[in-house]
């Protein structure tokens, strides 16, 4: 009996141990299951957050209101950005650069194919999603040319398109032209009494455009002309009219030109000249000044003149001339932020330039405010370019030397460049000033190369000879003759334009034209061990 009682005790103790172990195992299992469920939920939350982050990145890349190609830090677009109770980090890689083995793969103005990596973190869990995205060619775009009432292209060989040296030209975006033309009354007999767009047989346009669809004839055209929604229609005439698409704007879009900025005045410390200020020959470096007659400045003119091969550096500041700015066979270098105001008074020509150059140092800006007419012939306006070639320092854009018939080939440039070295066109801006009868004066540019923006909402402008404009132009009337041509830089889409309200789209549905290919979704399990 004692052996039986001992065996029963042992069985009881064993049963107690088994039950206890089973209980502990059940509790531990329940805790593990809870932890697994919690981790799974955290991973699911992080995965959802990564998806939201990818949608956010997609919206940023699609929007024309963001400068994502520039506003990143070495490729990081967002870092630890708070979203839905967690954070997301978005990194960008230029796919074309990466595949070509480039030293740097961060996006720039030329980027059209981008790899987007989104890393999310929420409640200690992380998730990574990677997508390849194609940037749409249908974002909002500013106007390359804006002709308020009349645009006539009547030369023998005129070109309207993109500036090849501009970084964004590789994207082959559409070129926009805008007009408020809405009346053709007597326009066939007296164009100045009507409004419309005349494109003669010598007008040429780009032959390729991104986003073209064979089923959409308009999408195949590289240039679109927009007119107001409320207009009765748009008159586009000439043998080249079929090469552009006329587009009525949407009701919410606006096509009215903005008011030009008010001209500044000199202030603080500046030199005051009461007679003509003439710099003839030699090199000169000047700062803010005013050139104005001592008495009755509204009746007497005083000029600022640069002549006889002079090289004049205008340093940062404001300059005022109550007469004309005259240049002959000379060179002006813009150093810093320069504002030049020409109040012509009795001198009907405010800007009177011949055979001269205006060059901007790096990161410099030039604003010119002109009261009456402009007469610029055989000049060159663009960046100042210095470089070392064959052991010698060269000062001057080779295109400028070629423009004046002074180009010779060397080890750096075997042939003359067809356009100036790149400079942002918004660094040079021409504005009109409201003066008595100023609207009646013509702004003429002949045989001149200009990198810049010209804005004349109340004046007509004429481009003659072999004139080339690299930037954009807006005027009440735009007349283009001979072989004068126009080259747009789409980087101007990213800065304030000449019209108020929203700029037009370049056509197409951005949702359909924004393909996304998922490369990788989620974490690497092996590396996570």
Tell me the C-alpha distance between 469 and 451, whole Å: 6
What confidence score (pLDDT) does residue 253 get? Answer: 72
Q: Where are the beta strands (DSSP E) in 166-260?
A: 175-179, 196-199, 203-205, 223-227, 236-237, 244-248
For 128, other C-beta atoms within 10 Å of its C-beta total: 17
pLDDT-flagged residues of the chain (< 70)? 1-40, 63-66, 136-140, 182-194, 254, 298, 436, 496, 500-515, 520-529
List residues bridging with 147 in a β-sheet: 179, 475
* Nearest of 422, 517, 478 to residue 108 by alpha carbon: 422
Question: Which tens digit of pLDDT belongs to each residue from 61-72?
Answer: 876 556 787 789
> Are residues 367 and 429 in contact, defined by beta-carbon separation less than 8 angstroms?
yes
Question: How high is the pLDDT of residue 123?
Answer: 85
**Tell me, what DSSP letter sits at residue 257?**
B
Contacts of 334 (CB under 8 A, 6+ apart): 314, 358, 359, 360, 361, 364, 365, 366
Q: Scanning the structure block, which residue is given the tokens 């789409």?
A: 490
Written as one string, the DSSP assignment of 358-415 is: EEE-TT-EEEEEESSEEEEES-EEEE--EEEETTEEEES-HHHHHHTT-----SS-SS
What is the DSSP-derived secondary structure letter of residue 492? G
pLDDT of amino acid 508: 53
Chain length of the chain:
529
- The pLDDT score that the predictor gives to residue 55 is 86
Evaluate whether 394 touches 386 at the Cβ level (below 8 Å): yes
Is the separation of the CB atoms in 317 and 340 below 8 Å?
Answer: no
Residue 249 gets which letter from DSSP? P
504 within 8 A of 247, measured Cβ to Cβ: yes
Rounded to the nearest 5 percent, the helix, strand and coil shares of the chain are 20, 40, 40
**Which residues does residue 175 pair with via DSSP β-bridges, in sequence order?**
223
R_g (Cα) of the chain, nearest Å: 33
């Amino acid at each position: 009996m004692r052996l039986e009682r001992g065996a029963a005790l042992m069985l009881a103790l064993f049963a107690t141990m088994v039950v206890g172990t089973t209980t502990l195992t059940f509790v531990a299992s329940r805790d593990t299951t809870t932890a697994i469920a919690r981790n799974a939920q955290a991973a699911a939350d992080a995965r959802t957050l990564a998806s939201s982050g990818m949608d956010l990145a997609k919206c940023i890349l699609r929007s024309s209101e963001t400068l994502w190609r520039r506003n990143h830090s070495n490729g990081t677009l967002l870092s630890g950005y708070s979203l839905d109770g967690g954070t997301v980090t978005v990194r960008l890689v230029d796919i074309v650069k990466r595949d070509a083995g480039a030293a740097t793969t961060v996006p720039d103005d030329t980027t059209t194919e981008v790899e987007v990596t989104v890393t999310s973190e929420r409640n200690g869990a992380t998730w990574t999603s990677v997508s390849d995205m194609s940037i749409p060619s249908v974002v909002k775009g500013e106007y390359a040319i804006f002709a308020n009432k009349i645009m006539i292209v009547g030369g023998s060989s005129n070109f309207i398109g993109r500036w090849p040296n501009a970084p964004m030209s590789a994207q082959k975006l559409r070129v926009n032209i805008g007009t408020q033309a809405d009346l053709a009354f007597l326009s066939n007999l007296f164009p100045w009494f009507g409004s419309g767009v005349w494109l003669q047989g010598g007008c040429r346009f780009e032959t390729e455009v991104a986003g073209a669809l064979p089923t959409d004839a308009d999408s195949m055209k590289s240039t679109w002309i927009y007119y107001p929604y409320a207009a009765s229609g748009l008159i586009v005439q000439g043998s080249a009219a079929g090469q552009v698409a006329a587009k009525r704007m949407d009701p919410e879009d606006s096509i009215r030109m903005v008011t030009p900025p008010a001209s500044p005045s000199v202030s603080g410390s500046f030199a005051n000249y009461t007679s003509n200020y003439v710099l003839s020959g030699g090199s000169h470096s000047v700062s803010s000044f005013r050139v104005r007659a001592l008495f009755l400045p509204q009746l007497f003119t005083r000029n600022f003149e640069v002549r006889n091969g002079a090289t004049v550096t205008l340093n940062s500041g404001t300059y005022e001339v109550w007469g004309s700015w005259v240049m002959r066979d000379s060179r002006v270098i813009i150093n810093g932020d320069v504002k030049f105001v020409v109040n012509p008074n009795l001198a009907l020509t405010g800007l009177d330039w011949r055979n001269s150059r205006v060059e901007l140092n790096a990161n410099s800006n030039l604003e010119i405010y002109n009261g009456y007419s402009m007469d610029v012939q055989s000049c060159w306006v663009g960046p100042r370019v210095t470089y070392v070639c064959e052991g010698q320092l060269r000062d001057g854009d080779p295109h400028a030397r070629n423009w004046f018939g002074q180009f010779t080939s060397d080890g750096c440039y075997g042939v003359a460049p067809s356009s100036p070295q790149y400079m942002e066109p918004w660094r040079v801006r021409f504005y009109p000033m409201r003066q008595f009868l100023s609207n009646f004066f013509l702004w003429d540019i002949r045989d001149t190369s200009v990198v810049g923006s010209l804005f004349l909402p109340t004046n007509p402008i004429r481009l003659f000879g072999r004139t080339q404009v690299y930037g954009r132009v807006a005027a009440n009337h735009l007349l283009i003759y001979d072989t004068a041509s126009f080259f747009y830089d789409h980087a101007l889409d990213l800065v304030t334009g000449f019209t108020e309200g929203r700029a037009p789209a370049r056509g197409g549905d951005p949702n359909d034209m924004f393909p996304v290919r998922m490369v990788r979704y989620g974490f690497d399990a092996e590396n996570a061990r």
